[in-house]
Amino acid sequence: MAADSDDGAASAPAVSDGDVSKSTKSGEELVVQVPVVDVQSDNFREMWPSLLLAIKTASFVAVDTELSGLGDRKSLLNQCIEERYKAVCHAARTRSILSLGLACFKQQPDKGEHSYLAQVFNLTLLCMEEYVIEPKSVQFLVQHGFNFNRQYAQGIPYHKGNDKGDESQSQSVRTLFLELIRARRPLILHNGLIDLVFLYQNFYAHLPESLGTFTADLCEMFPAGIYDTKYAAEFHARFVASYLEYAFRKCERENGKQQAAGSAYLILEFCSYPSSMRAHIDYRCCMPPATHRPHSTSVCDNFSAYGWCPLGSQCPRSHDIDLIIDTDEAAKEDKRRRRRRREKRRRALLGLPGKQTSGEAEDGPPMKQVCGDGLKAEEIELEVGEDKTSNQPGPEQGHKNDLEMGLKATRSETADMTILEVPGNQASPNPMPGDGLHRAGFDAFMTGYVMAYVGVNQGSQPCSSGPWLPECHNKIYLSGKAVPLTVAKSQFSRSSKAHNQKMKLAWGSS
């Protein structure tokens, strides 16, 4: 469906001032929602103009994927980054992308320095070549509402590797990815190495053999920069946990505090879609959190640190993200008070007057100390390997679920996070059992929200000259490493032949 405005919106946007916007109609129960546009083969052509306009007018685009699997988890954690890259390449060549999430954030300077229009799309895909799908992947996705019947019946078809003839003018997912490159906008991902490799192999060209060539290609594909919200949350914002749900909710809460304090804060708007599109709009629903909520159970240590728990919904402890953040903030404040008391006693003993020092300087990101019931970090990695968006914070911890395995963390217990409030009668009809917030489209939205919030605190604008966020520019989080992967073109590496041909196609036909 073509957009009805220059913003790429279907109709007038609904404002989310700070955290929520509320319906003024009386007698209607409010639920917090973010509209996610479902795009499948039956409405792909109809939505094509809106997709293109949203990408071309965006200030930055956040992307997330659902994958059919990743194969050998240990290879994906190889300490040698070159070998790790080869393992991810093997997975991308043998597995496929099941769904693609796009969240386009368009800055609106006339409505505020940090005001954005957000448009979120969830594309259901179907690779037309043979690919491996892992039983555990199927099981996990089905438990969280992924409809394989719909995917095989209405998935948008695509092929992997190099182009087959002149595809630059076709309406396909590969052409959509090319338009994303042509837009020259910052690309936002969460723990994005695997996403980048899969996107390249599935929608762009055959992967180069070496990591240096791959990063050289990426530099030219996304000259405005690639930003990883996991790196930003852990090493820049210094959150004690950085899996996506935690980072998103933490940013949401901090944004609300900044708004209440009169400081700079993030403002979002969403499109109000017409009733004719209702069948293709999936509102990600949850109730807004209460200011003070009683909690009868303690926090699950595994879920708190990693965003994953082997017991799932059967766990007797809480997986509530707000309670987890409350607990973390209380622990941080207690630690600060104890540090102040120690410093005060030390100065009194030494007879030192003057200002107290914080004593909080740290080289790496803060870490949670989690008891693993005798399990080594590497063993925990193998257990959490089914989780693509969570993590084990800190460079010395195991990071299996940091791998963004294409299979997301259980979210039915963490449904206290989203932005827009609309009347409950607009909620998605007939929700599937187990359907929580687990979708590529909504994950892309959360990813974009985190980066937009980081940008508010940084005080920089995505369309300004130079890198948007220099400290996070072209730095990709590496599981189990204290330093990121820097996306840069080395003087010892060249761009791949397939990439050079693709660049000529992109700019020769644009």
Q: Identify whether the C-beta of residue 33 lies closer than 8 Å to the C-beta of residue 16.
A: no
Q: Identify whether the C-beta of residue 191 lies closer than 8 Å to the C-beta of residue 391.
A: yes
Per-residue model confidence (pLDDT) at position 483? 92
Q: How many residues does the chain have?
A: 510
Neighbours of 180 (CB within 10 A): 24
Residue 479 gets the label, from left (phi > 0), alpha (psi -120 to 50) or beta, of beta
Per-residue model confidence (pLDDT) at position 368? 64
In the block, tokens 């196609």 appear at: 505
Per-residue model confidence (pLDDT) at position 79? 92
Per-residue model confidence (pLDDT) at position 287? 52
Q: Identify whether the C-beta of residue 422 lies closer than 8 Å to the C-beta of residue 14.
A: yes
Q: What gap in Å lies between CA 428 and CA 437, rounded to an integer?
A: 12
In the block, tokens 């192999």 appear at: 201
Per-residue model confidence (pLDDT) at position 373? 45
Q: What gap in Å lies between CA 312 and CA 310, rounded to an integer?
A: 6
Per-residue model confidence (pLDDT) at position 374? 40
Tokens of 436: 């929580």
Q: What gap in Å lies between CA 390 and CA 387, rounded to an integer?
A: 6
Q: Identify whether the C-beta of residue 133 lies closer than 8 Å to the C-beta of residue 126.
A: no
Sign of CA pseudo-dihedral 244, 245, 247, 249 = positive
pLDDT digit string (tens) for 45-89?
999 999 999 999 999 999 999 999 988 888 899 999 999 999 999
Per-residue model confidence (pLDDT) at position 30? 40
Structure pTM?
0.80
Tokens of 147: 């409809």
Q: What gap in Å lies between CA 106 and CA 110, rounded to an integer?
A: 12
Q: What gap in Å lies between CA 47 and CA 264, rounded to an integer?
A: 35
Of 454, 461, 459, the C-alpha closest to 255 is 454
Q: Identify whether the C-beta of residue 21 lies closer than 8 Å to the C-beta of residue 420.
A: yes
Q: What gap in Å lies between CA 43 and CA 69, rounded to an integer?
A: 27
Q: Identify whether the C-beta of residue 78 lies closer than 8 Å to the C-beta of residue 211.
A: no
Per-residue model confidence (pLDDT) at position 296? 63
Type of residue at 436? G
Give the distance, in angstroms, between the CA of residue 210 and the centroid of all CA atoms in the same chain: 26
Q: Identify whether the C-beta of residue 293 lies closer than 8 Å to the C-beta of residue 322.
A: yes
Which residues of the chain fall short of a pLDDT of 70?
1-32, 285-296, 354-438, 460-461, 463-465, 509-510
Tokens of 158: 């695509």
Q: Identify whether the C-beta of residue 406 lies closer than 8 Å to the C-beta of residue 67.
A: yes
Of 130, 144, 203, 149, the C-alpha closest to 40 is 149
Strands 115-127 and 30-39: parallel
Q: Identify whether the C-beta of residue 92 lies closer than 8 Å to the C-beta of residue 65.
A: no
Rg (the chain; Cα; Å): 22
Q: Identify whether the C-beta of residue 268 lies closer than 8 Å to the C-beta of residue 420.
A: yes
- Reported as type and span, the H/E element at residue 227 is strand 226-228
Taking the C-alpha atoms of 49, 55, 57 and 63 in order, what is their torsion angle to the nearest 10 degrees? 150
- Reported as type and span, the H/E element at residue 271 is strand 267-271
Q: Identify whether the C-beta of residue 155 lies closer than 8 Å to the C-beta of residue 125.
A: yes
Of 192, 88, 179, 91, the C-alpha closest to 472 is 192
Name residues whose C-beta falls within 8 Å of residue 255's C-beta, 6 or more positions apart in sequence: 18, 19, 265, 266, 453, 456
